[in-house]
Structure 1
Amino acid sequence: MKGMNISDQSLLRLERAADELRRGQPVVVTAGDRALFVMPLELATTPALERFDTMVTDSFVMLTNNRALSLKVAGEDWAAVRLERPSWMTAEDMVALADPTLDLASPLKGPYSRINHPSTALDEAAIKMVKWARLLPAVLAAEVEAAKAFPDQMAVDADAVLNADFAQALALRQVASARVPLAGAENTRLVSFRPTAGGIEHIAIVIGEPNRHDPVLMRIHSECFTGDLLGSLKCDCGEQLRGAIKAIEEAGGGVLLYLAQEGRGIGLISKLKAYALQDQGYDTVDANTRLGFDVDERVFAPAAEMLKQLGFGAVRLMTNNPDKVAGLERFGVTVAERVAHKFPTNPHNEQYLATKKAKTGHIL
């Protein structure tokens, strides 16, 4: 598995760099003797730009191919696309360039000129770094020498960034376990997992006393604040969560992995932006790509590692998503059976579920 040799210290630096980015501060992403000095576009302010420009020269904007295409920038299917930074572009323009929910209120000036620079691992790592910080995947960047001194900025290695998902999964450790009786499943234990270098925790909900020798009935459930907690009708997540707990209890036991992967891995704030785009007429897939993300940003390495630590090598997976089957098997967990797990539609999620069937291969 990629990322096996990434140290806890490297992962810790990624977490610290993500904190800097979420405060609108620049970080340095390095690859050998090359480096990019980057700051998140959606948090651009006039003072931040002035400071950025005193530290580097020849800056440019960098977006994902998905966002560039939505801006009518002809692409070459490069994962990261560099655009020239025009002289008229203000901090407000940069924020609007990053955030498509502002397209109607702040019509983009354009046209934008693409720099003929096929994306490199360094470019892709810079974009992934802002994703890691749960920000929109768009940055202001400048090429610098890796050896150049930026004493106030965090520096991270591009290879560590690109492989962080897998390295962090391998670094998961059980940190707490407690019996928590649930409505309809009183014999339940919650087991929390945290990466050794820090990061967001995932939770295993172990119901009953499942047999470790036979394939266990289980579900991977990505957290959904709006659906799970608030009962949102825009999705079917809350029904899937409670339905899975009920089904596992009735089957005599099993496990539900509750993963911190809100909004298919883009984070709660970006998910709300995607909802705003859906209100403008975009479907759930087009909303994610217009924001610059992939259709699904999740990885299932954490789920596989949690199952292994809990002693489950084979599963009966409750899902309508074939990608989850492939995702678990990629990381060494045998999926003995896919168990259908669907619920009736309502007027608010009917189109959402139809899009999942038509565009993401869900079996509904």
Structure 2
Amino acid sequence: MSLIRGLARFFRHDAAGGVVLMLSALLALIVANSGLSGAYQGWLMKPFSVLLDGEGLSKPLILWINDGLMAVFFFLIGLELKREMMEGKLRNPADVMLPGMAAIGGMIAPALVYLAFTWPDPAARAGWAIPAATDIAFAVGVLALLGKRAPATLKIFLLTLAILDDLGAILIIALFYTHGLQPGYLVLALIPLAGLFLLNRARVHRIAPVVLFGVVLWVLVLKSGVHATLAGVVTAFFVPLRDRYGKSPLHSLEHALSPYVLFLIVPVFAFANAGVVIQGLTLSSLVSALPLGIAGGLVIGKQAGVFLTTWALVRLGLARLPEGVGWAHVYGLACLAGIGFTMSLFIGGLSFTDQARMNEVRLGVLTGSALSALLGYAVLRRAARPGTRSGTTGSRVSKAASARADGRTG
């Protein structure tokens, strides 16, 4: 019983998702470089079909994971975005400005750093968006390891930045990773979209009809050439925040879905996509343009984009740092924003189909994310030491104020 209670406490901890994600990536790395490598690759490429009278979908298992399971992941992101826009951190434009601009800077700078490394290779330029995204679960997990030593307002800042970063990644996928567009299927997709609109308008209590229309929408979007995970986001925005009885289907669904996404879907994705084959790697492989561009974008670009944008806005008097947050905290947060992992691997899979290229992508993402996590944790841990001068601007607060901030986020 004590083991069960211990596991229950672990899975309730904010860092649990990041730890499980890290273990899944580590397992993929071990399996990909062991005697099980052939079985691992064979399992990922095994065809899986859903057919009716010979017609339907037939894809390798890896694509079912990346297009199907990740649609559920994006569905959850859509639910979080809608909730935050309607009643949370994204409701007040004044609260969104600083993390929002930091998120934009934190997407532009990594892309520029990546292009600086890969410009001589035209084929590699397609991956410019790989280092632009932040992994919420991993970043929040690392921050959670600091416990009460990190200001509660810093977590709010990081969550807002990461949510807006996800929104930016969704827009990038929609605009730049749509290939072989087939308008006929998009026209057909208007039918389930209309159904979702009517259900939302009627403030339905039951979720099943929404999910059914969402599945039909996913199939049609997949067939259209637009990346199918976007159907998950669109469906989420039609889940009613309040039904006709005053209850919240959106809150209920988000609460029910979160553990499955965090502890099943994302780890399965990591296991399927993080298997870097180390055999044959040389020093020249580590410093070749593609992995170096990704790692440089995550480590250098994210730090520069997030920190310098925040610094400029505060110095120009256009924004204020959150209560209790100093410049050392902002720098540590900028480092944590360089943990790309899930989103970076996902965009890497959209950018390249060649396995040799994908191995370089995995190498760059894992290296850059690991360095960002270690550096961010070290900076924030040092910033939390008693007597450390963090250089806050108008935000030196008492312990009582910090306690109030903790209460707001508890």
TM-score (norm 2): 0.27
Normalized per residue, the structure richer in helix is 2
User: Whose relative contact order is higher, 1 or 2, with alpha carbons under 8 Å and at least 6 apart?
Assistant: 2
TM-score (norm 1): 0.29
Normalized per residue, the structure richer in strand is 1
